[in-house]
Amino acid sequence: MAIYVTSDAHGHVRALDEALSKISLTSDDTLYVLGDMIDRGPDPVGVIKLVRSLPNARVLKGNHEQIMLDAIIGQDPLDAETWDINGGWTTREQLNDMEFEAYEELVRWMAALPLYAVVETEERPYLLVHAGIEMKAARAFLLEHGVDCADGVGAVGADRELLQQMLAVQSSDDLLWIRHGYWDVPTGLLSTEGKGPVVVSG
């Protein structure tokens, strides 16, 4: 059984399909899709349909899915403009061509997508998110719950449940958008021996 991760197809269904053909997914494998299936590219709905057709795909929400939901469901008229600025017109055109029932079901499915997942392997746990996590808040939460990551110890002592709890208290904005505070600092979750959880982001 293999675990694969992909992200940010942005409407390029042919490229995603080609990439998936190279790994030859089987029914025993799991594919995690870390969001941003939509916008920009020529066939965002095609990407969604492809992903949803895969038997063991696990999908997380990305910032582009959230932008779309804000534009469709939100109350701020500027949300539609933000969606367009970020390439949403390709998605909107395809959604407008859908039957209402299919459109409504797709929006409900997308709104229910989780923001994170914790995947355990024999070697280590992996924390999957679209953008990243706020590392100071993550380490502070772990310390509060008895896991001190300081001095090269890392978060080796954090089990899956604690890591899920840590992700659950992260800001949704950080999980979807963070750059500063994640990309520019070491996680501190790995020990000096390279053990501990690894964050995987899109």
pLDDT, one tens digit per residue, over 37-58 is: 999 999 999 999 999 999 899 9
Asked whether the predicted pLDDT for residue 173 surpasses 90, the reply is yes
Asked whether the predicted pLDDT for residue 1 surpasses 90, the reply is no
Reported pTM: 0.95
How many Cβ atoms sit within 10 Å of the Cβ of residue 37? 34
Percent of the chain's residues with pLDDT above 90: 94
- Distance CA(36)–CA(89), nearest Å, equals 14
Q: Can you give the three-state secondary structure of the chain, one letter per residue?
A: CCEEEECCCCCCHHHHHHHHHHHCCCCCCEEEECCCCCCCCCCHHHHHHHHHHCCCEEECCCHHHHHHHHHHHCCCCHHHHHHHHCCCHHHHHHHHCCCHHHHHHHHHHHHCCCCEEEEECCCCEEEEECCCCCHHHHHHHHHHCCCCCCCCCCCCCCCHHHHHHHHHCCCHHHHHHCCCCCCCCCCCCCCCCCCCCEEEEC
What mean pLDDT is predicted for residues 146-162?
96
Phi, psi of 94 (to 5 degrees): -70, -40
> What is the pLDDT confidence band of residue 75, given thresholds at 50, 70 and 90?
confident
What mean pLDDT is predicted for residues 138-159?
96
Residue 62 near residue 176 (C-beta atoms within 8 A)? yes
Q: Which of 130, 119, 195 is nearest to 164 (CA)?
A: 119
| Segment among 23-27, 28-32, 85-89, 108-112 with least mean pLDDT | 23-27
Residue ranges and CATH numbers for the domains of the chain are 3-111 (3.60.21.10), 130-201 (no CATH)
> What is the pLDDT confidence band of residue 34, given thresholds at 50, 70 and 90?
very high
> What is the pLDDT confidence band of residue 62, given thresholds at 50, 70 and 90?
very high
Query: What residues form DSSP beta bridges with 3?
Result: 30
**pLDDT reported for residue 158:** 97
